[in-house]
Structures are given as C-alpha cells and as structure tokens.
C-alpha cells in the first residue's frame, strides 16, 4: 500500500556525489555494451524507470536517458525497512536532478504479514506502488516501466526455483516483459551481468548506493549470490547466457501446456465436469486443473493437486463426496461438476 507520494527530502548537492564531466566524453567499451543491450528494446514512450539508486537501476536509468533524452521518468520506492532509506531516496533524487530527469518517490508499507517472507512482502508492495504511481503521475501518459534485474538475478531466481522443486512456470525464470493493470513492465538487462553494469558506471564516473541488506545472508537469495554463484560462474563463465536460453525453452514448453490446458477446459468445462475430466490422462487432468484453479485465483501445492486427482479418480458413484482444500480455496463435488468455495 502506498503511504505517500513525493514526501519531503533533505536536499543533496549532486556535485558532491557524481562526476558528471565523464558523461560528455566518448563512451568506453562497457558503457557501449550496456547501451547496446537496449538495441531491441522499443517501449511506448515516455518511459519510466524503477530507480532504487543501486548499480543496476542507475545503469538502466543512464542508458534509457541516453537513448531517449527527455522521454524518461524515474520512480523510487521507499520501503521504510531500514534507517538508510531516506539517504537512498535523496541520492536518487540528486542524480535525477543532475540530469534533469523528472523524479517521483513513493513510500510504502512493506512489512510482511505472518507466514509471509519479507522479500515477498517488499516485492508485492513495490509493484503495487509502481502501478499506482503511473496511474497518477505525469498526466497518466506513462504506460511503460523498465526494471533493472539482470542475468545474475535470473540465475539466482532459477537456482531458488530448483531448490524449491518448482515446475515449469518457476523454472522459466523472470519474464522479460508483461502487463498488469494497464502498465507494461520490461526487464531489458537480462542478457547482462552485474559485473557489466558496475563496470559501465565506473567508466562513467557514477557513484551508486550499496544496500547493506544485500549482504545479509539470512535471506536465501543473498546466500545464493554469495555462496553459490561465484564458484558456479568460475566453472562455467557463460552459465548466465546458457541458463537464459534454457529458461526460454522452458517458457515455450509452458506456453504449449497452457494452450493444451485451455483446449481441454473447453471440453471439460469451467467448472470442470468430473466424468469428462476422467476421460483425460492424469497428466492432462493435472494440467487442466492447474489452469482452472489459476483462473479462479488459487494455486495448489503438488500434494494438494495429487490428492485432488486421486479423489477425482475415485469419484465413480453418485454418493462419492469431494471436499478438499486446494490453494486458498475448497474444491468440492457439486453434482456432476467440481465447484469452488472460498
């Protein structure tokens, strides 16, 4: 939930933070590499950039501003989770002021609920805030926003998914683009590494913020970054690029499964008719039920879906009952069909 838009900040002199003289000089090889990553990126303009002040989003903001002068806006989300957050926002605003980039910062309540991870709570609050900012600021002309996640983030995401036994949707990794609430989100840097982005900023003489929470290994993603990625990339330097290709293949396979599930739901119905479900193979039943439940806003665990399939298989008489928790809802037999209860 957004607490406030553009609260007051203590002014910071940009000249104390950035050596902007290097920005007018010919680009070095690292800066060219980062700028070239936008060669196939053609979002609707004007474009917003989610800008934390960290290295990844600073490189993205610089590259987008360089490619589309006067067409870029910056949005900073203040999570309120650490004492240095005000300094992060002031640093971000100072950089935007130095390049005359329109800047908005928004404060959110990112505290996690019982049973929810802090990372998930912050992520959900962040995306909700970005959508809300674009619905209110700049005369509602901005419909596209770029995010700074890169190839190393993609590796972390896939390793984390593997550790959790994820299916194809999780193993397809972070999407390069998607739409939500009329806002188009993009991740143009998935083909670059963190090293690429930091080398670019060093060439440009730009100083970024190091978030101290990124070194806290009590967070699983940080532990993967510190303990797993370095030896993995040392053994397989091109692992990021090859893993990205694998993620694309997995995403294509999932897309085919979605098409099959949609076709099967057209046959069995929404809600599904039990007898028609039983005519499908177990794999296709599982696939169709996942899509039906997803459309109804519920995501089953593997164990819940397995038990539901067993109940469907056993449902051969009129007196057989089905009443089982699946995801956040209850699935029950309603005559010849499956039904959902809150």
DSSP structure string for 214-238 = GG-TTSHHHHIIIIIHHHHHHH-TT
Confidence class for position 3, pLDDT limits 50, 70, 90: very low
3-class SS at 79?
coil
User: Would you state the torsion angle of the CA atoms of residues 153, 241, 38, 189, taken in this order, to the nearest 10 degrees?
Assistant: 0
Helix or strand (DSSP H, E) at 193: none
DSSP letters, 256-281, are: HHHHHHHHHHHHHTTTTBHHHHHTS-
Cα gap 228→172, rounded to integer Å: 20
Can you tell me the mean pLDDT for 172-193? 91
Q: What distance in Å separates the CA atoms of residue 179 and residue 163, rounded to the nearest whole number?
A: 28
Q: Could you tell me how many residues make up the chain?
A: 342
What pLDDT sits at residue 240?
80
Q: What is the pLDDT of residues 122-133, one digit of tens each?
A: 788 888 889 989
pLDDT recorded at residue 18: 60
Q: In this predicted model, which residue has the larger pLDDT, 309 or 107?
A: 309
pTM here is: 0.81
- pLDDT tens, 77-96? 887 666 667 788 888 999 99
Mean pLDDT value across the chain: 87
Residue 150 has pLDDT above 50, yes or no: yes
Lookup result for tokens 């101290």: 212
Q: How far apart are CA 278 and CA 313, in angstroms?
A: 7
Which residue did the predictor score with more confidence, 20 or 313?
313
Average pLDDT, stretch 298-304?
89
pLDDT of residue 11: 52
Rounded-to-integer distance, Cα 87 and Cα 48, Å: 21
Confidence of residue 15 (pLDDT cuts 50, 70, 90): low
């Amino acid at each position: 939930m957004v607490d406030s838009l553009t609260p007051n900040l203590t002014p910071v002199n940009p000249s104390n933070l950035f050596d902007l003289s290097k920005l007018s000089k010919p680009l070095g090889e690292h800066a060219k590499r980062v700028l070239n990553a936008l060669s196939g990126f053609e979002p609707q303009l004007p474009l917003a950039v989610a800008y934390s002040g960290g290295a990844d989003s600073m490189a993205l903001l610089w590259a987008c501003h360089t490619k589309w002068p006067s067409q870029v806006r910056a949005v900073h989300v203040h999570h309120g989770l650490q004492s240095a957050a005000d300094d992060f926002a002031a640093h971000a605003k100072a950089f935007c002021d130095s390049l005359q980039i329109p800047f908005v910062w928004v404060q959110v309540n990112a505290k996690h609920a019982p049973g929810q991870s802090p990372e998930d709570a912050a992520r959900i609050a962040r995306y909700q805030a970005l959508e809300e900012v674009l619905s209110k600021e700049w005369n509602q002309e901005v419909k596209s926003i770029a995010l700074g996640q890169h190839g190393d983030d993609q590796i972390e995401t896939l390793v984390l998914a593997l550790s959790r036994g994820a299916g194809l949707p999780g193993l397809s990794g972070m999407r390069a683009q998607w739409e939500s609430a009329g806002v188009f989100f993009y991740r143009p840097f998935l083909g670059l590494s963190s090293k690429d982005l930091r080398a670019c900023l060093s060439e440009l003489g730009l100083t970024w913020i190091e978030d101290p929470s990124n070194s806290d290994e009590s967070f699983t993603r940080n532990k993967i970054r510190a303990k797993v990625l370095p030896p993995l990339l040392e053994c397989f330097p091109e692992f990021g690029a090859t893993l990205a290709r694998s993620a694309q293949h997995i995403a294509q396979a999932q897309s085919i499964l979605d098409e099959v599930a949609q076709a099967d739901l057209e046959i069995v119905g929404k809600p599904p008719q039990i007898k028609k479900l039983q005519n499908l193979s177990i794999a296709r039943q599982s696939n169709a039920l996942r899509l039906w439940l997803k459309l109804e806003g519920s995501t089953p665990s593997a164990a819940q879906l397995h038990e539901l399939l067993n109940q469907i298989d056993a449902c051969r008489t009129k007196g057989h009952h089905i009443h089982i928790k699946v995801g956040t809802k209850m699935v029950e037999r309603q005559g010849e069909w499956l039904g959902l209860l809150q």
